[in-house]
């Protein structure tokens, strides 16, 4: 981590520089959760890049939005500032086509993360643009944030989680999740969706638990895995999915999804803060 570019003075390189990508091993944080090579979940990390640009053969700029899907079983995550710097290096580089840009990014990310990374590039208008890029979603879920709760701890407190005897299947959402970058201490804001089937999780205590992450320092992906593991260990649901949509920083948003269902995939949605 001493070589992590996130806390260093930055030189912005505007010509293609794949060496800027900085990998961080997932295993280090997972050890703290008692997770080994046999992962207790399935899922992906969905990144959206809003500041992608390059030059065409004539030197005319092209601008687009990109989506990157990284499997949760990749050996490495990619540090977000290095990702931003890498994308900036396309700004003054000539490419022949969108397909060439997509192929290069996919190859570079896959090599860095040690996994197959899917890349889509969307124009800013026309039929090729994904609907979620232009439409603000209001996913159907039970909102927790208006519950009347008393909070006096701002570090993860899984002991708060409790269940009743009623069997339910429901999707819950809170927009109050805040965590902090482990390198810079800057705040990261997110909406978190929890879908589960099993004994009813007491909503008030779940909200207090989510708020308890407010001073917790860790990367987005690791925070979601901690939430998943705490819910799985304490509440023991039959099915569980945790999906956090983080607000963007530096033109990138990171949206980790973890599920006990190997077939489950998150919706590509854009929330009001994204």
Catalytic residues: 181, 188
Task: Residue 185: count other Cβ atoms within 10 Å of its Cβ.
Answer: 10
Closest CA to 86 of 47, 133, 129, 57: 47
Tell the residue number behind the tokens 């708020």, with chain if given: 211
CA 3 to chain centre: 22
Q: Cβ(225)–Cβ(33) under 8 Å?
A: yes
Phi first, then psi, for residue 48 (nearest 5°) are -120, 125
Which tokens sit at 127? 């039929």
For residues 274 and 255, give the distance between their C-alpha atoms in angstroms, rounded to a whole number: 11
d(CA 222, CA 33) in angstroms, rounded, equals 9
Q: How far apart are CA 31 and CA 61, in angstroms?
A: 45
Helices and strands, counts by H and E, the chain: 6, 10
Cα–chain center distance at 45:
5
Q: 266 with 132: CB under 8 angstroms?
A: no
Tell me the β-bridge partners of 42.
Answer: 259
φ/ψ of 47, rounded to 5, equals: -105, 140
Phi, psi of 254 (to 5 degrees): -125, 130
DSSP 9: -
């Amino acid at each position: 981590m001493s070589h992590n570019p996130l806390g260093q003075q930055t030189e912005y390189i505007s010509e293609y520089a794949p060496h800027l990508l900085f990998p961080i091993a997932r295993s280090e944080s997972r050890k703290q959760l008692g997770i080994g090579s046999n992962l207790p979940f399935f899922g992906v990390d969905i990144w959206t890049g809003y500041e992608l640009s390059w030059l065409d053969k004539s030197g005319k700029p092209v601008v687009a939005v990109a989506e990157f899907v990284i499997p949760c079983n990749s050996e490495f995550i990619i540090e977000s500032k290095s990702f931003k710097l890498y994308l900036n290096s396309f700004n003054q580089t000539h490419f022949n086509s969108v397909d060439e840009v997509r192929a290069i990014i996919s190859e570079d990310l896959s090599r860095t993360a040690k996994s197959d990374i899917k890349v889509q590039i969307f124009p800013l208008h026309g039929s090729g643009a994904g609907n979620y890029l232009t439409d603000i979603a209001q996913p159907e879920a039970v909102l927790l944030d208006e519950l009347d709760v008393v909070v006096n701890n701002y570090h993860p407190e899984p002991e708060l989680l409790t269940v009743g005897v009623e069997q339910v299947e429901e999707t819950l959402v809170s927009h109050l999740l805040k965590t902090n970058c482990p390198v810079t201490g800057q705040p990261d804001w997110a909406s978190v969706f929890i879908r589960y089937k099993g004994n009813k999780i007491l909503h008030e205590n779940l909200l207090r638990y989510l708020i308890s992450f407010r001073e917790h320092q860790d990367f987005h992906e690791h925070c979601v895995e901690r939430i998943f593991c705490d819910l799985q260990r304490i509440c023991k649901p039959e099915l569980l999915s945790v999906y956090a949509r983080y607000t963007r920083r530096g033109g990138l948003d990171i949206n980790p999804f973890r599920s006990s269902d190997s077939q489950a995939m998150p919706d590509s949605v854009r929330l009001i803060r994204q």
